[in-house]
Amino acid sequence: MGFPSPAADFAETTLSLDAMFIKRPHATYFMRAGQMHWRAGIMKDALLVVDSSLPALDGSIVVCALAGDYQVRRMRLYPSPHLEHLDTFEKATLTDDDDQIFGVVAYIVNDARSQEFDDIPVI
């Protein structure tokens, strides 16, 4: 018998990255970033967790099919819906084709061993 542990109320469950990152398994995809977009916090070869069931909000980073290639862009809704390049801020208008946006980047996983992310880079 004995006394209950005073720490029993503070017991934690194990950490599961699947439970943290994957809310809808049928609509979640993992992609690698082909290039660095430092303003968006994406380093080269970063793991992008893309959820195709999430709605794209103003300012969301999305994966879209442009010119037959998957590309990462920022969704802008105002003054009219358009996609914005992450580095050059070049605008691409959205067509009525819903297949243009593949999914919303829900999480970005960078390798912190060899990359340094600084919001004020010195060039």
**Does 59 map to a domain?**
yes
- 85 lies in which domain range? 24-109
Q: Tell me if 63 is assigned to some domain.
A: yes
Let me know: does 105 contact 48? Beta carbons within 8 Å.
yes
**Structural tokens at position 37:** 């977009």
The verdict on residue 28 lying in a domain is: yes
> 41: Cβ–Cβ under 8 A, 6 or more apart, which residues?
108, 110, 117
For residue 115, being part of any structural domain is answered with: no
Do 89 and 70 meet the contact criterion of CB atoms below 8 Å apart? no
pTM above threshold 0.85? no
- What is the count of structural domains for the chain? 1
Does 18 fall in a domain? Answer: no
Residue 119 pLDDT level (bands cut at 50, 70, 90): low
**What is the CATH classification number for the domain harbouring 44?**
2.10.109.10
52-85 tens-digit pLDDT: 999 999 999 999 988 778 999 999 998 888 999 9
Distance CA 48, CA 15 (A): 20
